[in-house]
Each structure stands twice: as C-alpha cells, then as structure tokens.
Amino acid sequence: MQLIEVAIIGGGSTGLMTAYYLAKEGIKNIHVFEEKYLGFGSTGRCAGGIRASFASDVHIKLMKESISKWLSLKEEIIGLDFVQDGYLWLLTTEELVELHKKLSAYQNSLGVPTRMLDRDEIRNLVPIEMNDVIAALYDPMAGKASPLKFLGSVRRRLRELGVAIHEYTPVTEVRVSGGRACSIVLDGGREIRVGGYVVVAAGVWSKDLLEKLGVKIPLKKDPHHLLVTEKYTHFIKPLVIHKETGSYIVQHETGSLLVGAEFPVPEGDETLRYGYLKKAVTIMSRYFPQILGINLLRVWIGYYEVTPDHHPIVGGVPHIENLVTATGFSGHGYMMAPVIGEELKNIILEGKPRIPETKELRLERFEEGKLLKESAIFG
C-alpha cells in the first residue's frame, strides 16, 4: 500500500496554502486530493476581496497577518496578483454613518487605518454617481486578488515544490486506528496510508467527511450568487460595497467585473435566481451607470460555509491526534487562506499555532458555549 506523509483533502485556497507552507518548510510527500478540479468549491466562485477591517479582534488580528502574507506571496509566486486598492463602504443613512465612525475608531485602535470619507473624497477615489450616498468608510489596507490567477499560479508553484495534486480524486473516508488517522480511502476503494497528518480542507463538504468519523461540526451551506462581466477598461480600483443592501462590485486586474448582491436562497440550493441579477445590476448601476454597457458573461452560485458565530473552525478534532481541519470561514476563507495555511503548518510541525487568536477558533468552542463575538460597538 502506498505511504504518504501529508494528505490534504480539498483543492481550494485553504488546502493549497497549507500545502504551500508545508512544502516551503521542506516537507516531502505532500498530496492534495480534490474531488473535481482545483477551485471547484467556493474558491473558484469567490470575489477575491481581501481586508482586515472587521468587527472582531480575532478576525482583525488574523487578517492583518494574512495581508502581510498576501504581500509576500505576490513576490514568492509568479502570476499571483494581489493589489492593495482598498475597500470602500458606501453609506446611505445617518445611522450607518454613526456606526461606521465607531467601527473605524475600533479598527484604528487595532492598527487598521480605516477612515471616513466625505462626498468629495469619494468622488476623487471612484467615478461614481453619488445619488443618496452621504459618506463612506475607506480601508486602504484592503485589496483584491483574482481567484483564477491565484489558482493557476499556486498550482504551478506547488508542482515546482514537488507537491502531488490529484484532481477528480474524491476521498470517501478517513480511517482511524488507535486514535490516529492512519489512511484515506479513494473513490473506487483504493486505500493510501498516511504517516504524518490528514488535513480536512474540504470547504462545506468537510462536515460530511468529519461526521463519518463521529466529529460533529456546525456548518451551514449558505448559497451566494455572483456575476462576472467581460473585460472592460479599468475604471474602479477599490472593492465597493453598498452597505445598506450588501451589494458589491470589484474589478480585477484581468479587467472583468464581479458584482454580488445579498439574495436569500434556501440552504444548499444551487438554483440560479433572476431576482439576484435584477437586484445586483439595479443597485450597482445607480452608482456606476457604466456597467449597463458591459456584457455579462456568467452567473453562478457558490457556498459560504457558515458557523453559528461566523468565525472559522481551525485546528485539531477531539480524539484523533494527527487530523486537522480548517473550514467555516463564513464568507472570508479566501482572504484568510495564507494565514490559516501557515497556522495549519505550525500546528502540524510545532504542535501549536503561532498566533494566540488561532487557538480561539477551536471546534470545541461550540460544545462549550464559548462562541466568539463581534465587537461591542454593534450592541
């Protein structure tokens, strides 16, 4: 029977970054198993937004670290295009303005340099029809990285580092013996022995794999639409969010625009809704009428893997000493992938994460009722 050192289940941003940081440390015999193709899950369907401007200490501290890793990755991996063009939250009510002033002060206290912009300052930043916008919160530390370019460039780098990537290779089971994950079983029944660690980075599908091992994991499949347009002249640098409705627009280095909108769909449902298209285009074209002249290429649904406290689950699982998981990113797993990949590497090689906040993401918090909270400024 084949023996491998590390089996990573899932070829999304989490699995690939974990493979990268392990391989960079010189670990050999790392294998990534992906049920379909790299990026098939949420990673290939996400908007590519990256920010540290959150409302919880844990998210902010991890994301500050992740952003510094995105900057290094840009140097380390040819073709990865992280650009620090910022995030801009358009605010259309006085209540939202007051809330975001407090939020900015809180973020500044943790070293994230967000600031409020008035209407003139907003106009200087983006070619916008102001309509009902009163003010905006701007985060200059934030940025974007095209998920497709990320997937292509990381795949190439992993190959150079000797990581084996197996696409169209679902893992159906992890076998445990004496409290250790000793092997994985592939579709078709082939069993592969694992000498070191099993990493479950299978996005929303991590729940299925872990539940087979008796590990309960509170994870919901929350469907979200996104649309992509043809390439267009670069005209909008920051990722812009219309806070009142949660609609957003981002233009990547490729020239394509991605437009998202909150449009509730029942859990696990992948049926595309016309209502989403109408909402996304109607809202964004009020501020950026230019988009009405751009051709739409595709619309899709992907899942946010949502936990009860909207923070991820990272680390070991009870009673299996050499199995780690990272999932439950609740809409932020792409931006967190570098820091989480490195923390999984630290857990595997050093027995613990390096950043204190990572410990707060352990799975046991749900059973213990120690859920993480957003900052008090939200009441």
Residue 139 within binding range of ligand FAD, rule CB under 6 A: no
Residue 238 within binding range of ligand FAD, rule CB under 6 A: no
326-345 positions binding ligand FAD, by CB under 6 A: 327, 329, 331-335
In sequence order, what are the beta bridge partners of 223? 303
Residue whose C-alpha is closest to residue 249's, from 97, 128, 337: 128
Is the Cα dihedral 37, 42, 47, 49 positive or negative? Answer: negative
Residue 54 within binding range of ligand FAD, rule CB under 6 A: no
**Closest approach of ligand FAD to the CB of residue 337, in Å:** 7
Residue 170 within binding range of ligand FAD, rule CB under 6 A: yes
Tell me which stretch binds ligand FAD (CB under 6 A): 21-29, 30-38, 98-106, 350-358: 30-38
- DSSP secondary structure letter of residue 78: T
- DSSP secondary structure letter of residue 158: H
Distances (CA, A) of 20 to 104, 172, 243, 301, 314: 34, 24, 35, 28, 17
Question: Measured between alpha carbons, how far is 345 from 337 in angstroms, rounded to an integer?
Answer: 12
**Closest approach of ligand FAD to the CB of residue 246, in Å:** 11
**Closest approach of ligand FAD to the CB of residue 45, in Å:** 5
Pick between residue 135 and residue 332 the one whose CB is nearest to ligand FAD: 332
List of residues 6+ apart from 258 with CB closer than 8 A: 47, 48, 226, 227, 228, 229, 249, 250, 251, 252
Site size for ligand FAD (CB under 6 A): 40
Tell me which stretch binds ligand FAD (CB under 6 A): 12-20, 65-73, 88-96, 346-354: 12-20
Residue 34 within binding range of ligand FAD, rule CB under 6 A: yes
Residue whose C-alpha is closest to residue 247's, from 259, 235, 230, 229: 259
**Closest approach of ligand FAD to the CB of residue 200, in Å:** 9
**Closest approach of ligand FAD to the CB of residue 128, in Å:** 20
- 42 phi and psi angles, rounded to 5 deg: -65, -30
What would the x/- binding string for ligand FAD be over residues 240 to 279, using CB under 6 A?
--------------------x-------------------
Residue 10 within binding range of ligand FAD, rule CB under 6 A: yes
Pick between residue 33 and residue 138 the one whose CB is nearest to ligand FAD: 33
Pick between residue 135 and residue 313 the one whose CB is nearest to ligand FAD: 313
181-220 positions binding ligand FAD, by CB under 6 A: 201-203, 205, 209
Residue 226 within binding range of ligand FAD, rule CB under 6 A: yes
List alpha helices for 254-300, DSSP H.
274-287
Question: Measured between alpha carbons, how far is 92 from 225 in angstroms, rounded to an integer?
Answer: 24
Please report, in angstroms and rounded to a whole number, the separation of the first and last CA atoms in the chain.
56
Name the amino acid, one letter, at 286: R
The number of C-alpha atoms within 13 Å of 335 and in the hemisphere containing its C-beta is: 26
CB atoms within 10 A of CB 365: 18
Tell me which stretch binds ligand FAD (CB under 6 A): 22-30, 43-51, 96-104, 285-293: 43-51
Query: What does the binding site for ligand FAD look like in residue numbers (CB under 6 A)?
Result: 9-15, 33-36, 40-43, 45-49, 170-171, 201-203, 205, 209, 224, 226, 260, 302-304, 327, 329, 331-335
